[in-house]
Amino acid sequence: MLYIAHTAGVPAEERQDFWQDVVSSAFVPLEAVFPTKRFEGKLRSTSLGPLDVIDVDTTAHQARRTPRLVSAAPSDSLKLGLFVKGRGRLEQDGRQAVVGTGEMAVYDTDRPYWLDFDEPTRMVVLLFPRTMLGLPHDRVDEVTGRSIPSAGGLGALVAPFLLRLAAQLDDVEVRDGARLAGNVVDLVATMLADRLDLPPADPDAARRAMLLRITSYIEGHLGDPALDPARIAAAHHISTRYLHKLFSAESTTVAAWIRTRRLERCVRDLRDPLQAARPVSAIGAQWGFPDASHFSRLFKAAYGLSPRDYRSAVGDH
């Protein structure tokens, strides 16, 4: 379920208390400090089983996880934050790091930390149980309070995926949440293991992480009619044979996955009253079906009605 909180409409004199309650509920209990009373913030979050995904956009402030709060409300969780806009100064375990736009940082909620945002900042944050990571605790402690670049290595794959995940919070199916959570944390664990020069805790984690990267890539290119296995394999530097093997392990095929996701996007748009006047063929073309007749046949095979009849049936309810 998507949770949204916004300071718009909250009286200025109440915003600071309001925001401290918001972030303490969405993350872990925190102490918020504001340089001025003119604070603005917006937060969107959803839970995918044990994983919380939070998209937060704010003006300048500080967030502190004090020793008192750690003692009063331990959580045994880790946070991975991607700075989408702005920058922040993070301190934990005696280390300080300035984390800039496009960079990431890991921090442990069961040890004190503080984040200082001295300018408008947007972050996408993952909050998950430490045990999900499957890496030695003492080694994970080596990366807390440090900046993780996303310009190269596995960071260059994790950051775009987190952005896409945040953009699709409304579309995530609850029934898929637990499985998606495991895949997301696998991807993070693979990135951290690479930085720490550790083998993955779970030998199968690398395969799941690769599949997650591939399906994320597919999501971002559904509207391209030229999307095919050869292009997907080339983009991930693997053979088409291995690509097909990955999807076979999920009891599906690459083509079936692409077709299903495209049709699901079309269904969403056909059900949208704001797009009621939009031609059915335009919706199909947007999601990779440039041939209207072919689109209609595939849609009817999947849903038992043509796209036009489906839209009419939805509108009648």
Q: What CATH number is given to the structural domain containing 65?
A: 2.60.120.10
pLDDT of 176 above 70: no
**What's the pLDDT score for residue 18?**
95
pLDDT of 26 above 80: yes
pLDDT of 87 above 50: yes
| Domain identity same for 177 and 225 | no
pLDDT of 173 above 60: no
Nearest CA to 68 among 123, 99, 112? Answer: 112
The DSSP letter of residue 215 is H
213, part of any domain: no
Separation of CA 85 from chain center = 16
Total domains, the chain: 2
200, part of any domain: no
**What's the pLDDT score for residue 20?**
93
Contact call for residues 211 and 248 (beta carbons, < 8 A): no
Average of pLDDT values for 110-128?
95
Q: Which two tokens stand for residue 111?
A: 């040890």
For 240-264, what is each residue's pLDDT tens digit?
Answer: 999 999 999 889 999 999 999 999 8
Q: What is the largest CA-CA distance in the chain?
A: 64
Nearest CA to 151 among 142, 143, 160? Answer: 160
pLDDT of 174 above 50: no
DSSP for 13-42?
Answer: GGHHHHHHHHHHHHSS--EEE-SSS---EE
Q: Is the model more confident about 160 or about 31?
A: 31
| Domain identity same for 148 and 281 | no
Nearest CA to 311 among 252, 256, 271? Answer: 271
**What's the pLDDT score for residue 137?**
84
Average of pLDDT values for 72-84?
93
Nearest CA to 300 among 285, 284, 288? Answer: 284
Q: Can you give the residue range of the structural domain that contains 246? A: 221-317
Q: How confident is the model at residue 1 (pLDDT cuts 50, 70, 90)?
A: low
Average of pLDDT values for 100-128?
95
Q: What percentage of residues in the chain have a pLDDT greater than 90?
A: 56
| Domain identity same for 166 and 48 | yes
| Domain identity same for 63 and 127 | yes
Q: Is the model more confident about 79 or about 210?
A: 79
Q: What is the Cα–Cα distance from 131 to 174, expressed in whole angstroms?
A: 22
From 177, 195, 213, the end of a domain falls on: 195
| Domain identity same for 171 and 314 | no
Average of pLDDT values for 181-206?
78
Residue 286 sits in a domain whose CATH number is 1.10.10.60
Q: What is the Cα–Cα distance from 117 to 101, expressed in whole angstroms?
A: 12
| Domain identity same for 157 and 255 | no
